[in-house]
Amino acid sequence: MKSFVTSAVTVVLLLAVFPHSSASPIAAASPSLMDRIEALTPAPLNAACCKTCRKGKACGDSCISASKTCRKGVGCACDAN
């Protein structure tokens, strides 16, 4: 019974990764697993941004005017676009 459950779980996982189609799941034309994952989240997640700069631009951990030059290192602020 245990081997049947293991086999069934394996089949379900394979079907989730490689949906049924007439082409081979490893064919060059089919999208990779990473492509499928990226398609699920088309917009970048801004969870790591401490501040989102809409008018100016990101500079370190804060926002500055778009016409100014940033003199800080990489921080947690992100540009809106």
pLDDT at 32 (0 to 100): 86
pLDDT at 30 (0 to 100): 79
Give the integer Cα–Cα distance in Å for 74 and 58: 9
Q: Minimal CA–CA distance to 67: which of 77, 57, 75?
A: 57
pTM (two decimals): 0.42
Token pair listed for 58: 């990101």
pLDDT at 34 (0 to 100): 81
pLDDT score of 44 more than 70: no
